[in-house]
Chain A
Amino acid sequence: MNLVRNILFRREAGILVMIVLFCIAVGLYKPQFLTGQSLRIILLLTPLIMIGAMAQMLVLVGRHVDLSIGSMLGFSAMVVGLMYREFPDLWWVIGFPIAIATGAVLGIFNGLLVTIFKLPSIIVTLGTLSLYRGLTFIISDARQINRSDIPSELKLMSRTSPVFDIPWIILIAFGIALMTYVIARHTQLGRQIYALGSNPEAAPLRGIDVTKVTLVVFALSGALSGLAGILYASRWGFVNPSNTGAGFEFQVIAAVVIGGVSINGGVGTVMGTVLGVLLLGCVAAALPLLGIPGSTQNAIYGSVILIALLIDRSVRQRGAASISRGGA
């Protein structure tokens, strides 16, 4: 066990080293990258991805994948936006439980399809990705929720808070990461998710209710996407039926895979995922500073996923080799 932990530790240390090297390299070229101001920019780029990544990490650890998170984000944001537009008198905080509940319902629908019909989650969520996106258009009548419709208290959350003036959405994102850490490490549910992902055949034999765990994982993924949805409305001040959340799943999968979560299930830590998100944030913040056009971002995300997959594979192989050496 010690050995496995060592490998994981090295993995996280590796990402940290990459972040530091990257920041120093950019900082040598453009010194303003190493200031508090740009730290703020980096942190402001990451909260949505951080929340999505926590959800996706749990899903991947359970040996599933959820491609519909971007559409769930868009749908929940739209539901909340419509509520703000149609009922401006409601207390704005009501938006949070509504967004989270909306996302959770969509997530449970994914989970039901996966568990009842025993379908591969990737195809199910590819289907619901377009299903939920279409529903977003239908409920919004293909119209955008404008800046003026979103309560200013909500928009203010992306700018400030009583704690050292750090914007609320950053605090919320790190709070979610902490919550996920507790769930993953210190609850029965969390350990069951890891057990299920490590060996789906053995898990039910050890008395794990596979259906329940899978449903909870997808519900959590939906609920956190819903939370990311209302934070999107806070951060950008609008909700657009076609743009909001589009491509979100790819950024999140990139962050999670960089963070060392194994696509084969059972392996992944909150620490690694957080670092993966921060690395992506640094890259995204450095691009405009270095004068690299934003259109390169997708290619960078894509190549980063492929490289991370290859690294993941070589780490796993080295781990397996040293275990078999130790055993022999």
Chain B
Amino acid sequence: MTDTTPTREMAPARPTWHVVLVRPETMTLLLIIIGLVGASILSPFFLDASYIMRSFTLTAEMSIVALVLTMVIISGEIDLSPAANMALSACVFAWVQDAGVALPLAVIVGLLAGLAMGALNAFMSIRMQLPSIIVTIGTLIFFRGLAQIIAGDRSIRVPESFVGINAVMVFGVPLPVVIFVLCAIVLGLVLGTTVIGRQIYQIGTNQQAALHAGINAKRIKVGLFLLLGVVSAAAGMMAASRLGSVRYDLVLGGELQMVLMAMLGGTYIFGGRGTILGTFLAAWLLVIVSTGMTVANLLPAIQLTVLGILLIVAIIATNFIYARTQR
């Protein structure tokens, strides 16, 4: 313990243990440990790391998107459309390659579709200054509807050579998990150590102050929406590769899980606070919870209930923690 004598101007600094422990991320980590202990009582499978890895591939795509979504929420905006974006990009990709376009080109078309969707969100919420929460409800329906037009009620198959990203192993870890971890490290470094990262926090905390500090808030927010669009498209195609075919209802309702991951990881819904580490941990927590429920033979519907409760509890808890630590 270093001896810091409080001066007249300074409020007494909180003790280090307080700073480290009273954080949403710590809460998430604790929940993971509790979840693991509880789940391993239900089934010994849970102490098997490769079992958890394999379960994680089911939600890895959404977890990757949730990482970028975290940055969007920290900047003070929100996007509810990435799940629909995943479905539409995957449909566009599958449709184009089904029509005879070469596979690499089809992937690029899919990514461009995602970029265009991100651009539409950015245009409506940043250029037109409409609240992103309503705009992205509109685009959510719109993207999902376009996917429905493209795919109809049938499922479009993707070629054999493209199928099976989840079966590719890198040192015994499934490729989607590796991609997720790499994305988390890169985005964590960007958000935590670079100037742009600090600017994102600044914009989310107080956009007016950020503008006066010479930060181009609009450009950064547009960049984040575009990034989210492209990453969602990539995630959509990863899902297509895992499933082997594409339907318009790919990850239907996935926006709930993505927002839930960010909230569980301690991202503040009004912007300005949150970390990539938190979302990273929350993604694992959700996998443990949902696999635990599957192992315990709970109906998918009950899992839906649990997810809803978790979301509400998570926002209440983070709001509470932030209210406490505010000085």
Q: How far is it, in angstroms, between the C-alpha of A263 and the C-alpha of B130 when the chains are bound?
A: 9
The 5 closest A-B pairs by CB, nearest first: A302-B142, A137-B301, A299-B145, A134-B305, A131-B308
Q: How many residues of B contact A (CB 8 A)?
A: 45
* CB nearest to A67 among chain B residues: B137
Query: Which of chain B's residues have a CB closer than 8 A to the CB of A295?
Result: 148-149, 152-153
A305 CB within 8 Å of chain B: yes
- Asked whether, in the complex, the Cβ of B311 is within 8 Å of the Cβ of A142, the reply is no
B36 CB within 8 Å of chain A: no
- Asked whether, in the complex, the Cβ of A142 is within 8 Å of the Cβ of B312, the reply is no
Query: Which of chain B's residues have a CB closer than 8 A to the CB of A123?
Result: 259, 263, 269, 311, 315
Give 1 or 0 for each of B290-327: 1 = CB within 8 Å of chain A CB.
Answer: 00000000010111111111011001100100000000
Query: Which of chain B's residues have a CB closer than 8 A to the CB of A301?
Result: 141-142, 145
Q: B: which residues have CB within 8 A of A?
A: 80, 124, 128-131, 133-135, 137-146, 148-149, 152-153, 253, 255-256, 259, 263, 269-270, 299, 301-309, 311-312, 315-316, 319
Q: How many residues of A contact B (CB 8 A)?
A: 46
- Asked whether, in the complex, the Cβ of B137 is within 8 Å of the Cβ of A305, the reply is yes
Query: Which of chain B's residues have a CB closer than 8 A to the CB of A296?
Result: 145, 148-149
* Shortest Cβ gap from A138 to chain B (Å): 6
Q: A: which residues have CB within 8 A of B?
A: 65, 67, 113, 117-120, 122-124, 126-138, 142, 241, 250, 253-254, 257, 263-264, 293, 295-303, 305-306, 309-310, 313
- Asked whether, in the complex, the Cβ of B124 is within 8 Å of the Cβ of A309, the reply is yes
Query: Which of chain A's residues have a CB closer than 8 A to the CB of B299?
Result: 137-138, 142
Known A120-B269, A127-B311, A134-B301; contact A309-B145, beta-carbon cutoff 8 A: no
* CB nearest to B129 among chain A residues: A313
New contact pairs (5) apart from A263-B130, A302-B138, A310-B128, CB-CB < 8 Å: A131-B305, A138-B299, A241-B301, A306-B138, A309-B135
Known A296-B145, A302-B143, A302-B145; contact A253-B308, beta-carbon cutoff 8 A: no
* Shortest Cβ gap from B271 to chain A (Å): 11
- Asked whether, in the complex, the Cβ of A137 is within 8 Å of the Cβ of B304, the reply is yes
- Asked whether, in the complex, the Cβ of B312 is within 8 Å of the Cβ of A128, the reply is yes
Q: How far is it, in angstroms, between the C-alpha of A109 and the C-alpha of B229 when the chains are bound?
A: 34
CB-contact partner of B130 in A122, A134, A138, A309, under 8 A: A309
Query: Which of chain A's residues have a CB closer than 8 A to the CB of B301?
Result: 133-134, 136-138, 142, 241
Q: How far is it, in angstroms, between the C-alpha of A118 and the C-alpha of B269 when the chains are bound?
A: 12
* Shortest Cβ gap from A146 to chain B (Å): 19
Residue of B307, B312, B315 most packed against chain A (CB within 10 A): B312
Known A127-B312, A130-B256, A263-B134; contact A135-B145, beta-carbon cutoff 8 A: no
Query: Which of chain B's residues have a CB closer than 8 A to the CB of A310?
Result: 124, 128, 130
Q: How far is it, in angstroms, between the C-alpha of A303 and the C-alpha of B148 when the chains are bound?
A: 14
Q: How far is it, in angstroms, between the C-alpha of A119 and the C-alpha of B128 when the chains are bound?
A: 26
- Asked whether, in the complex, the Cβ of A138 is within 8 Å of the Cβ of B145, the reply is no
Query: Which of chain B's residues have a CB closer than 8 A to the CB of A253?
Result: 137
* Shortest Cβ gap from B128 to chain A (Å): 6
What are 21 sample pairs from A and B whose C-beta atoms fall under 8 A apart?
A117-B319, A119-B312, A119-B315, A128-B308, A131-B305, A133-B308, A134-B304, A134-B307, A135-B305, A136-B301, A142-B299, A142-B301, A257-B138, A263-B131, A297-B145, A298-B142, A301-B141, A302-B139, A302-B145, A302-B146, A305-B141
* Shortest Cβ gap from A129 to chain B (Å): 7
Q: How far is it, in angstroms, between the C-alpha of A136 and the C-alpha of B299 when the chains are bound?
A: 12
- Asked whether, in the complex, the Cβ of A137 is within 8 Å of the Cβ of B302, the reply is yes
* Shortest Cβ gap from B322 to chain A (Å): 12
Q: How far is it, in angstroms, between the C-alpha of A321 and the C-alpha of B68 when the chains are bound?
A: 37
* CB nearest to B152 among chain A residues: A295
* Shortest Cβ gap from A120 to chain B (Å): 6
Q: How far is it, in angstroms, between the C-alpha of A299 and the C-alpha of B149 when the chains are bound?
A: 8
Known A120-B269, A126-B311; contact A306-B145, beta-carbon cutoff 8 A: no
Q: How far is it, in angstroms, between the C-alpha of A91 and the C-alpha of B309 when the chains are bound?
A: 35
